[in-house]
Structure 1
Amino acid sequence: GRGDTLYVISDPFDGSLLYKRGVPAFWFTSLAIYDAEGNPIAAAVGDCLTATIDFCDASKAYTARIADDGSLTDVAPIQPSSVTNLSDAHLETYLMKPKFMYPTVDEYRTLFEKVRFILPNGGPAGFCDTAKGRVDIYFAYRQPHIEIFSGVAIAQRAGCIVTLFDGSPLKFDTDINKRYDVLCCATQELHEQVLELIR
């Protein structure tokens, strides 16, 4: 036979608009593999500017440097921060395009005013930033399938709390046209505080 059904999700070049304009920031490539039941098998998000990669298998998440020959060096497990207070939290949410920025800020201003800092990026790298403790919350509002499922497994395997905005579990879906509201937090305490503000 042909073997088991697998789903492969890839964003070959996240940040292409910045690249086209010559802005050396937020250039990533991502790939994830899910089984027929929607369970993540592996995922990887590469940073094209720093030659680093965050990745996971079915149980753990890691980061590494990519050597000139393509091999991985300095491989180390990753884990989210231990921040528990919203006022200390750094939040990431995609705000670079006006069609995302204005609706997001208008609807969630109460939340945004309570955090310490906002990083206006997102996509698969937002999940990695939370998994590594660079930020404490990734607030993925109205994000496409590819932006969620090409990187979320890394945050999940690192120990982040990941749900939809209503607190229900995020489930893999094969509908590539679906958009998602996903909350990814470093700690349960932060997750509960954010849900309380946005419900």
Structure 2
Amino acid sequence: MLKSVIDIVETLATDVRAPARPPASLEELAATFSAVDDPLAANLRAALTGLRPAAKWAGEFADLPAGEVWVVDALDGAVQLLQGLPQYCLTVTLVRDGEPELAVLHSPWLKETYAAKRGEGAKRNGIPIEPSRKKSLDAAVAATSQPPFVTRQPGVAEAAGTSLTAVLKKALAVRNFGPTSWQVADVAAGRLDLFWQYGRDAANLAGAALIAREAGAVVTAADGAPWTPSAGSFVATAPALHALVLDALNQAE
């Protein structure tokens, strides 16, 4: 079934188009987003339901029912797309009883697809991936982001700021390359050495977390506890960097 999901996502991605010019207000942005996202999400839902008729549907990862559920973000990085920037991706995750079973991320700009199925490893464009071999933060390229509407989660913006300061003092560089899920997948593939984020953002993180784990990266919350969809922080790192990253984040707190 994983290949069928990949085919669906890659095919529907060809219909995604940026607006002729960026929206000029929040209201225009919301309307433009809906005009792009709504039909794409509807087409994804129809195609995925054809694969798993009994699976339920969730646009966001919250209070999921038991059984199989499709968790879909048709446009992770929608802000970039609406601004005419290329850093966005489509994400599809099949969750069973709260655990991600398979995940597909596709970047129309890069023409790349990350995919993983639990217990079977992770690949990019069909080629197995693995995380970075780096062992020190002074050589590490880190990435971070924030959940959508970050001010709706008290304390998260402040944690983002203090943690950024802490990691900047130790890492070679810190970047934000757009879609949350894609940056986590890039950690899985060794393009980035680590990613962290504060706040709940399971819709963007669940599938990417599966890809990272299947590739061999370490995925936890910022306190080192196993990451779950309800966790208030997220860390994905190359294996040798995990303890160093947690130490830096804990110092920030």
TM class by smaller structure: 0.7 to 0.9
**Where do 1:13-32 residues align within 5 Å?**
13-24=75-86, 26-32=87-93
State the 1:93 CA deviation. 0.3
**Where do 1:1-199 residues align within 5 Å?**
5-24=67-86, 26-36=87-97, 38-59=98-119, 60-64=121-125, 75-94=126-145, 103=158, 104-121=160-177, 122-172=179-229, 178=230, 180-187=232-239, 189-199=240-250
**Normalized against structure 2, the TM-score is what?**
0.65
- Higher RCO (Cα < 8 Å, 6 or more apart): 1
Change in 2 beyond 3 A, CA 1:196/1:106 = closer
Q: What is the letter of the counterpart of residue 192 of structure 2?
A: V
Verify the 8 A CA contact 1:96 1:120 in the aligned structure 2: no
The structure with more radius of gyration: 2
Gaps of 5+ in 1: 65-74, 173-177
Over aligned residues, Cα RMSD in angstroms?
2.5
Q: Percent identity?
A: 21
Runs of 4+ in 1 over 4 A off after TM superposition: 95-102
Tell me which protein shows more helix as a share of its residues.
2
**Normalized against structure 1, the TM-score is what?**
0.81
Change in 2 beyond 3 A, CA 1:31/1:51 = same
Tell me which protein shows more strand as a share of its residues.
1
Verify the 8 A CA contact 1:105 1:112 in the aligned structure 2: no
Distance 1:102 1:109 in 2: 13
Number of corresponding residues: 180
Change in 2 beyond 3 A, CA 1:48/1:179 = farther
Tell me the SS of whatever aligns to 1:151: helix
